[in-house]
């Protein structure tokens, strides 16, 4: 038992020593780097070095980054990087490199680490010698716990603590980095939203152009022909054959059919843009109406959506569309008899869940409308999650950010 104890202590000390050895290696490397740095600084004073200044700073960042990763592996806690990206013309890059507080934090670390990186390794080497003697006797002969070797592990912890303190960006830089990340994320989602919105507009234009407009023109044409026939009938002189009343009647009947079809199509288009029932009943009422017409036994639960101000029209329309599609899918494909819809008012927006008791296995590439739902949600910077294992059940969660 004491043997395994010792073996574990040895293994741990071994790993810690490797960590410290790498640190010391980096400290030595930084010795070389300081030479490069000094050269750059001196050369910068006589202008030529300005060209390599940004590259030198990038090298410094890479070294600090390597240390961050090394320390992160030891402690399991990642240290965030927060640098000003060095982009633009040479002058801009130099200016950014010089103005970035991260550059000076890295330099400070470089100098301090040169000292403690080496010292900690020396201390570890010393502890190995003492540990081999003391713990060898202490554990192997007396069966006690190792006392010296674990100190090497403490040394590695110390290295981690100091390095973390030195390399962690200032709170301000960290906030900036978070904001930059958020901006990047928003840029991507906004591009997606704009694309989705464009596709939506084209769909509506196509629906109106090919459907309703064409029908109305055709209807107008038939009314025009009927009118012409009527005028002829009035003007038909004796001996002239008046136009066949059946023909006129048919023209008018066709015209009326087309007027009705145009109205039906318009209704579809309007429903695609903003379902009228949302205006009349609000989201919860509209979803209840969907549930009632779905052919499934659907329970609708509202967690605060009906109370207080309403969500923006676009958010309500997207939510309605998602619920409608999800329930249609559940009724058509899942074989479920029951489903549940939950709507909730969250601080950041509207949350909704649609779940059924069906057979699952919903596939986004299968064209079951999931892609359309996702697009509609993405257009509003929302997120959608589909869980649908084979064998079921299917659960769709959507979050639509909004202010209410």
Say if residues 370 and 386 touch (Cβ distance below 8 Å): yes
Cα–Cα nearest to 352, from 307, 291, 397, 303: 397
Tracing tokens 């029209």 back to the chain, one arrives at 313
Q: What does the angle CA 196 – CA 202 – CA 208 come to, to the nearest 5 degrees?
A: 140
> Rounded to the nearest whole angstrom, what is the least distance from the CB of residue 258 to other proteins in the complex?
8
Q: How far apart are the first and last CA of the chain?
A: 65
Specify the residue, 198 or 224, whose C-beta has the smaller distance to other proteins: 224
Query: Binding other proteins by CB under 8 A: which of 170, 187, 220, 279?
Result: 220
Query: Binding other proteins by CB under 8 A: which of 28, 36, 180, 214?
Result: 214
Find the radius of gyration of the CA atoms of the chain: 37
Judged by CB under 8 A, does residue 210 bind other proteins? yes
**Alpha carbon of 255 to those of 225, 233, 246, 250, 310: distances in Å?**
10, 20, 14, 8, 42
Judged by CB under 8 A, does residue 206 bind other proteins? yes
From 143-151, 179-187, 205-213, 267-275, span contacting other proteins (CB under 8 A): 205-213
DSSP β-bridge partners for residue 342: 301, 353
Residues in 231-260 that interact with other proteins by CB under 8 A: 258
Query: Binding other proteins by CB under 8 A: which of 108, 182, 228, 267?
Result: 228
Say if residues 53 and 86 touch (Cβ distance below 8 Å): no
Q: What does the angle CA 247 – CA 248 – CA 251 come to, to the nearest 5 degrees?
A: 90
Name the CA dihedral angle for 175, 177, 182, 188, rounded to a multiple of 10 degrees.
170
> Rounded to the nearest whole angstrom, what is the least distance from the CB of residue 250 to other proteins in the complex?
10
Specify the residue, 44 or 218, whose C-beta has the smaller distance to other proteins: 218
> Rounded to the nearest whole angstrom, what is the least distance from the CB of residue 226 to other proteins in the complex?
9
Say if residues 330 and 340 touch (Cβ distance below 8 Å): no
Query: Binding other proteins by CB under 8 A: which of 61, 68, 105, 222?
Result: 222
> Rounded to the nearest whole angstrom, what is the least distance from the CB of residue 209 to other proteins in the complex?
6
> Rounded to the nearest whole angstrom, what is the least distance from the CB of residue 261 to other proteins in the complex?
9
> Rounded to the nearest whole angstrom, what is the least distance from the CB of residue 225 to other proteins in the complex?
6
**Interface ranges with other proteins (CB under 8 A):** 206, 209-210, 213-215, 217-225, 227-228, 258
């Amino acid at each position: 038992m004491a043997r395994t104890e010792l073996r574990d202590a040895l293994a741990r000390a071994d790993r810690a020593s490797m960590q410290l050895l790498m640190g010391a290696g980096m400290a030595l490397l930084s010795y070389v780097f300081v030479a490069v740095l000094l050269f750059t600084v001196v050369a910068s004073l006589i202008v030529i070095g300005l060209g390599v200044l940004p590259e030198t700073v990038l090298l410094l960042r890479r070294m600090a980054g390597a240390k961050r990763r090394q320390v992160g592996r030891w402690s399991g806690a990642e240290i965030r990087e927060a640098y000003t990206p060095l982009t633009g013309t040479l002058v801009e890059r130099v200016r950014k490199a010089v103005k970035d507080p991260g550059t000076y934090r890295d330099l400070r670390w470089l100098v301090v680490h040169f000292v403690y990186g080496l010292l900690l390794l020396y201390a570890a080497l010393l502890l190995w010698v003492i540990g081999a003697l003391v713990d060898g006797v202490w554990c192997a002969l007396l069966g006690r716990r190792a006392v010296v070797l674990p100190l090497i592990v403490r040394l590695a912890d110390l290295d981690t603590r100091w390095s973390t303190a030195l390399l962690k960006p200032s709170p301000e830089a960290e906030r900036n980095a978070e904001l930059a990340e958020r901006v990047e994320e928003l840029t991507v989602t906004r591009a997606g939203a704009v694309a989705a919105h464009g596709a939506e507009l084209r769909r509506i234009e196509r629906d109106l152009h090919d459907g309703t407009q064409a029908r109305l023109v055709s209807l107008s044409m038939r009314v025009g022909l009927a009118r012409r026939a009527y005028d002829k009938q009035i003007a038909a002189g004796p001996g002239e054959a008046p136009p066949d009343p059946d023909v006129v009647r048919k023209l008018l009947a066709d015209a009326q059919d087309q007027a009705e079809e145009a109205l039906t199509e318009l209704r579809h288009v309007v429903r695609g843009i903003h379902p009228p029932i949302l205006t009349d009943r609000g989201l919860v009422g509209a979803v209840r109406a969907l549930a009632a017409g779905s052919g499934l036994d659907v329970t609708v639960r509202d967690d605060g959506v009906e109370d207080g101000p309403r969500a923006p029209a676009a958010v309500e329309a997207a939510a309605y569309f998602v619920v409608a599609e999800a329930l249609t899918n559940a009724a058509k494909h899942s074989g479920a008899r029951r489903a549940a819809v939950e709507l909730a008012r969250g601080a950041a927006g509207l949350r909704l869940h649609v779940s059924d008791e069906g057979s699952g296995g919903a596939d986004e590439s299968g064209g079951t409308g999931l892609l359309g739902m996702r697009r509609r949600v993405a257009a509003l910077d929302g997120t959608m999650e589909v869980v649908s294992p084979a064998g079921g059940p299917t659960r769709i969660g959507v979050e639509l950010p909004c202010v209410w």
